[in-house]
Amino acid sequence: MSDVLPVIYLLASISFILGLKMLGSPATARKGNLYAAAGMFVAIIGTITLYRTADGSPLHNLPLIITALIVGTTIGWMMAVRVQMTSMPEMVSFFNGMGGACAALISVIEYMHLHSHVAAGEADHPSATVGYLFAVVGGLVIGSVSFSGSIIAFGKLKEKIKDFRFSGQHFVNIFVMLVIVATSAMIIMGYWGGMQALLVVGAIALIYGVMFVLPIGGADMPVVISLLNSFTGVAAAFGGFLYGNMVMLIGGILVGSAGTLLTIVMCKAMNRSLLNVLLGSFGATAAPAAGSGAFPGTVRGITAGDAGVLLAYAKQVVIVPGYGLAVAQAQHVCHQLEHELEGRGVDVKYAIHPVAGRMPGHMNVLLAEADVPYEQLVEMEEINPEFERTDVVLVIGANDVVNPAAKTDPSSPIYGMPILDVENARQVIVLKRSMKSGYAGIENELFYRPNTTMLFGDAKASITALIAEVKAQ
């Protein structure tokens, strides 16, 4: 019996590796996810039925374990099925936080267990080695940071928590991190012990997670979530060390390293370094406040009627979707408008900025939900030369990704970020709720250009009006 479980863990590990590999290509991604899920299922069932403790007895509390599994499955399934595609990023962040909390709890229980043995006079308990304590404290610290950080990221994406900065924040953060390292080291080396020691370190780690994510700009949240994702991977790997459990070790480290690389790739898409994101350059420079009129020219409005005429008689239209489209749930009406225009012989394409929305690929997921064919979604590098030939660009709830300041103004916090060159088109119509600035909190000069007009209102209502106007032509 004892030989079977390692084989099951081996198979599960292979399924994780294959799954991750297949997730990297559009054709195999779905199957890859299912492979990994199947591997996970087998590993969990195998653990419940075949795991033997050090004295050779099977796991206790099985009915309760199974109850917990059923409760977790039901809640997780319901949340995952019900969540709107628009709030996918915060959902991922939430689930990530749960994994972190799970890792931290394991450490707490393990330490409690050890502590009760020490208190009972078994001071030389065989498991109280440096390696064992390292795994316990490591899992606790990283799991806690990941948990509280993910919950803050979740709140920020839900726009319930605002950015919070104070001067010297980075130094305070570095100081807190040093305190964590020092106290952890003391516990690991055996200079400090007891339940309260572990709980103090856990509490500081939770606080650190909050302070680490709070100052980071909302537009950078995807990067942070990806980073916290790899943190949780490492926390899981500490659990693997603790139990000499290969599948936890492999799964955790794999996600830890792949997640870190993914984080770096995401930063590159925004032309920034990871350090730059973490130290938060967004909002650090004084940009002209929204509506201050710091740019030459005026903001001109357009009626749905006029915009409808422009669209209906254009040859080529490019739609630039942004987070506003997601908020207004306007992806379906957007597809309708596109359909209506195509019926009139207009060539319609979507320009997808790599970080449009709140996550890379966020817009792709949304538009795919509305059945927009894949071929119509054009990536930034390919669409940029086309704007010169484009009659009308329809910017729907996007702001920072079409801000020319990224190219022209070295003092702008988004300077250097590659953007969509919509200003090269003959006419730009911006659908926006108000003149409020984008997520990066900076003014957009595009709105003041002579070839730009604004159609104010909720994106869904505006697009519905546009459809009616195009039909009337």
Q: Whole-number minimum distance, CB 322 to other proteins, in Å? A: 15
Q: What angle do CA 414, 420, 421 make, to 5 degrees?
A: 105
Q: Is 40 in the site for other proteins (CB under 8 A)?
A: yes
Q: How far is the CB of 307 from other proteins (least distance, A)?
A: 28
**Cβ 244 to other proteins shortest distance, Å:** 7
Q: Does 205 bind other proteins (CB under 8 A)?
A: no
CA 46 to chain centre: 32
Site for other proteins in 64-123 (CB under 8 A): 64-65, 67-69, 71-73, 75-77, 79-81, 83, 85, 88-89, 91-92, 94-96, 98-99, 101-103, 105-106, 108-110, 112-113, 116
Is residue 138 at the binding interface for other proteins, with CB under 8 A as the rule? no
Nearest distance from residue 52's CB to other proteins, in Å? 10
Binding mask 370-389 for other proteins (x = CB under 8 A): -xxxx--x-x----------
Closest to 350 (Cα-Cα) out of 372, 327, 381: 372
Q: Which of residues 264-293 bind other proteins (CB under 8 A)?
A: 265-266, 269
Helix (H), strand (E) at residue 378: strand 377-379
Site for other proteins in 444-473 (CB under 8 A): none
| Least separation in angstroms between CB 405 and other proteins | 23
Smallest distance, Å, CB 383 to other proteins?
14
Instruction: Find the catalytic residue in 55, 163, 391, 400.
Output: 400
Find the shortest distance in angstroms from Cβ 268 to other proteins: 10
43 binds other proteins (CB under 8 A): yes
CA 291 vs. chain centroid, Å, equals 30
**Sheet containing strand 347-352, strands side by side:** 377-379, 347-352, 316-321, 392-396, 427-432, 452-456
Torsion of CA 416, 420, 424, 430, to 10 degrees: -120
59 in contact with other proteins (CB under 8 A)? yes
| Residue in 148, 229, 399, 444 binding other proteins, rule: CB under 8 A | 229
Quote the CA–CA distance of 117 and 136 in Å, as a whole number.
16
Phi-psi region of 168 (alpha: psi -120 to 50; beta: other; left: phi over 0): left
* Measured distance CA(281)–CA(244) in Å, rounded: 42
36 contacts other proteins (rule: CB under 8 A): yes
Contacting other proteins (CB under 8 A), which of 306, 347, 369, 391?
A: 369
97, 150 Cβ separation under 8 angstroms: yes
Between 132 and 208, whose beta carbon lies closer to other proteins?
132
Q: Give the Cα separation of 383 and 421 in Å (integer).
A: 9
Does 400 qualify as catalytic in the annotation? yes
Q: What is the C-alpha separation between 401 and 380, in angstroms, rounded?
A: 10
Q: Which stretch binds other proteins (CB under 8 A): 203-211, 255-263, 281-289, 419-427?
A: 255-263
Contact yes or no for 211/173 (Cβ under 8 A): yes
Nearer to other proteins, 260 or 403 (CB): 260
Displacement of CA 8 from its chain's centroid (Å): 31
Q: Is 42 in the site for other proteins (CB under 8 A)?
A: no
Check binding of 26 to other proteins (CB under 8 A).
yes
Q: How many residues bind other proteins (CB under 8 A)?
A: 119
Identify which of 388, 465, 473 has the alpha carbon closest to the alpha carbon of residue 425: 388
Which residues have a catalytic role annotated?
400
